[in-house]
């Protein structure tokens, strides 16, 4: 009884609910939202703004058409025609159980229902439900629009086919669905996090370390490891050639004693709360929460892009999403049937913080990155897809002439206008103009490309569909005058 998911409802729009909403919307899904909080619209709007900013940096592909955000005036209105419902209300079991009864009263019987709970078991949430088989824990991590992990926890009452459907949907919006084998309080990740909290609170309570020192002990050390390998793979590597079995049997007894110490939870007295709050102010109080959010998101984007470069872990997911976004963009370009008699606009980009130099302006080679991406967008537009490449053909740039006309700061939106300056059997001469939204020309590029047989490493004639499409566009653009920068050399001085 599975069906395609088209409409999403979000019950609760705080930091977590807002993060879910942003992820759904930016993946093209309409979301109906119910949250009685008087400022819900503002809060969700702020999270969405952060998410759009981060996605602009994270993905190379042009963004997909955003889904619509519909604020419903009742839970009934939000869930009545939803295929997937995500509940993110405060962590009180009685409240959640009441919400599940309400959802059941108004939602379609085949709607999937995921709960953002970080602590409760699905069987607890399902206690009063008539159709418990379609409700499960879907526990995400803040910021929900960037961190891929979602813990999917079913109970014995769940229908496995529905769980599979939920996982497929959440993976389609770029998540890593980790299905937890047995329901337990706090699932998996928060068990680990709580253990660290407990130890961290003791370290502060006993005056061993401050909040900043604990954070430094994490982010300059094992935190860097954990962004890419977890606990076990890290120690498998550290253990060396002797292997995991050897490592774990050596390691256990060696650390037995500290392991068995200080296992209670320190009492959160007013004095301890006060100490933590003051230390945290001292550590991070020079930045507002908004500034910290942006710094966090920029760092996460950078880390995700670094892992994408190695096709590893969370980065491999970003890479998949980017491909999917590109595919959607090309479908859209295909639909719009552009006017070939004018320069084409096939590529957009936004100048990232890490693209800028010490002057705060886009670095030289990032101009060429944008121009190169525009060339890729053009090639993909004329039909150079994976199947074409798999035949052993590709297109290489052999010569490039760039004029840098304007400095651009981080955040600048760039669009690229592309014109064919000429082509023959094997060669293609292209120009790009990089422009701001206000049509200021930032830079120009003139490029000579060569069609190659990649196995023989030699030039060869374009094949269809490239050759036909090139001819068609070239014929249509012949009436255009050549840009004034074309065919020019760098002048001598002295």
From candidates 97, 205, 234, 467, binder to a second copy by CB under 8 A: 234
Instruction: State the Cα–Cα distance between residues 14 and 142, nearest whole angstrom.
Output: 11
Residue 201 has a CB neighbour count (10 Å cut-off) of 17
Q: Counting contacts by CB under 8 A, is residue 168 touching a second copy?
A: no
- From 103-111, 125-133, 159-167, 275-283, span contacting a second copy (CB under 8 A): 275-283
Contacting a second copy within 430-449 (CB under 8 A): 446-448
User: Counting contacts by CB under 8 A, is residue 456 touching a second copy?
Assistant: no
Please give the Cα distance from 43 to 71 (Å, whole number).
12
Q: Return the range that interacts with a second copy (CB under 8 A); candidates 26-34, 62-70, 155-163, 480-488.
A: 480-488
Query: Which of 30, 164, 172, 215 lies at the binding interface for a second copy (CB under 8 A)?
Result: 215
Rounded to whole angstroms, how far apart are CA atoms 69 and 7? 11
CB of 486 to a second copy, least distance (A): 8
x/- track of binding to a second copy for residues 311-350 (CB under 8 A): -xxx--x---------------------------------
Candidates 76, 280, 436, 467; binder of a second copy (CB under 8 A) is 280
For a second copy, which residue of 25, 51, 421, 473 counts as binding (CB under 8 A)? Answer: 421
Q: Which is it for strands 69-71 and 30-34: parallel, antiparallel or unpaired?
A: parallel
C-alpha distance from residue 202 to each of 98, 212, 233, 380 (Å): 37, 15, 28, 57
What one-character DSSP code corresponds to residue 296?
A: H
Q: Does 277 bind a second copy (CB under 8 A)?
A: yes
Q: What six digits make up the tokens of 59?
A: 């993905």
Give the footprint of a second copy on residues 360-379 (CB under 8 A): 363-369, 371-372, 375
Q: What's the min distance (Å) between Cβ of 226 and a second copy?
A: 3
> Which range of residues in 63-71, 124-132, 178-186, 343-351 is near a second copy by CB under 8 A?
178-186
Stretch that binds a second copy, among 28-36, 76-84, 243-251, 324-332 (CB under 8 A): 243-251
Considering only 2, 76, 205, 228, the residue that binds a second copy (CB under 8 A) is: 228
Quickly list H helices, 184-230. Answer: 189-205, 211-217, 223-226
Contacts of 415 (CB under 8 A, 6+ apart): 345, 347, 348, 434, 435, 437
Residues near a second copy (CB under 8 A), total: 164
- Quick check: bond before 95 cis, omega within 30? no
Give the residue with the Cβ less far from a second copy, 45 or 76: 45
**DSSP state for residue 456 in the 8-state scheme:** T
Q: Which of 148, 343, 383, 483 binds a second copy (CB under 8 A)?
A: 148
DSSP single-letter state for residue 304: H
Q: Which residues of 254-268 are buried (b: 16+ CB within 10 A; e: fewer)?
A: eeeeeeeeeeeebee
194 binds a second copy (CB under 8 A): yes
**Options 192, 458, 464, 480; binder of a second copy; rule CB under 8 A:** 192
Distance of CA 79 to the CA centre of its chain: 26
Rounded CA-CA distance 133/98 in Å is: 17
If binding is defined by CB under 8 A, does position 390 make contact with a second copy?
A: no
Element (H, E) at 294: helix 289-309
203 vs 344, beta carbon nearer a second copy? 203
> Of 221, 334, 392, 411, which lies in the binding site for a second copy, with binding defined by CB under 8 A?
221
Mark the segment that binds a second copy (CB under 8 A) among 3-11, 78-86, 159-167, 215-223.
Answer: 215-223
Omega before residue 447 within 30° of 0, cis: no
Residues 86-115 that bind a second copy (CB under 8 A): 91
**Binding range to a second copy, per CB under 8 A, among 27-35, 101-109, 325-333, 427-435:** 427-435
Q: How far apart are CA 384 and CA 371, in angstroms?
A: 17
Site residues (CB under 8 A) for a second copy, limited to 18-77: none
């Amino acid at each position: 009884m599975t069906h395609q998911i088209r409409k999403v409802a979000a019950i609760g729009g705080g930091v977590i609910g807002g993060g879910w909403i942003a992820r759904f919307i930016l993946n093209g899904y309409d979301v109906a939202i119910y949250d009685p909080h008087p400022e819900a619209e503002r809060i969700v709007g702020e999270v969405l703004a952060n998410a759009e900013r981060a996605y602009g940096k994270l993905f190379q592909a042009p963004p997909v058409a955003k889904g619509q955000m519909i604020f419903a005036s009742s839970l009934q209105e939000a869930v009545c025609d939803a295929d997937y419902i995500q509940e993110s209300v405060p962590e009180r079991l009685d409240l959640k159980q009441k919400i599940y009864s309400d959802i059941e009263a108004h939602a379609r019987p085949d709607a999937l229902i995921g709960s953002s709970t970080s602590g409760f078991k699905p069987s607890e949430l399902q206690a009063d439900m008539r159709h418990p088989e379609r409700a499960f824990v879907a526990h995400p991590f803040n910021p929900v629009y960037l961190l891929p992990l979602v813990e999917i926890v079913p109970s014995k009452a769940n229908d496995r086919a529905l769980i599979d459907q939920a996982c497929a949907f959440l993976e389609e919006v770029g998540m890593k669905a980790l299905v937890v084998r047995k329901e337990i309080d706090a699932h998996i990740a928060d068990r680990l996090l709580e253990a660290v909290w407990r130890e961290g609170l003791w370290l502060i309570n006993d005056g061993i370390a401050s909040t900043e020192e604990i954070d430094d002990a994490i982010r300059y050390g094992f935190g860097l490891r954990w962004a890419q390998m977890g606990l076990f793979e890290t120690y498998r590597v550290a253990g060396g050639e002797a292997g995991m079995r050897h490592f774990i049997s050596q390691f256990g007894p060696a650390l037995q004693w500290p392991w068995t110490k200080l296992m209670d939870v320190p009492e959160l007295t007013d004095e301890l709360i006060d100490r933590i709050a003051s230390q945290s102010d001292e550590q991070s109080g020079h930045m507002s929460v908004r500034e910290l959010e942006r710094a966090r998101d920029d760092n996460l984007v950078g880390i995700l892009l670094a892992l994408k470069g190695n096709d590893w872990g969370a980065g491999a997911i970003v890479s998949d999403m980017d491909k999917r976004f590109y595919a959607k963009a090309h479908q859209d370009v295909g639909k719009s049937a552009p006017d070939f008699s004018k320069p084409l606009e096939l590529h957009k980009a936004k100048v990232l913080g890490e693209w800028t130099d010490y002057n705060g302006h886009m670095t030289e080679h990032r101009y060429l990155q944008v121009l190169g991406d525009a060339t890729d967008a053009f090639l993909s537009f004329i039909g150079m897809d994976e199947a074409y490449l798999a035949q052993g053909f590709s297109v290489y740039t052999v010569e490039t002439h760039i004029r840098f006309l304007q400095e651009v700061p981080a955040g600048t939106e760039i669009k690229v206008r592309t014109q064919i300056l000429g082509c023959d059997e094997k060669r293609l001469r292209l120009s790009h103009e990089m422009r701001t939204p206000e049509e200021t020309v930032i830079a120009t590029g003139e490029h000579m490309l060569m069609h190659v047989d990649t196995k023989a490493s030699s030039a060869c004639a374009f094949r269809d569909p490239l050759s036909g499409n090139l001819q068609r566009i070239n014929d249509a653009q012949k009436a255009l005058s050549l840009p004034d920068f074309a065919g020019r050399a760098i002048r001598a001085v002295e």
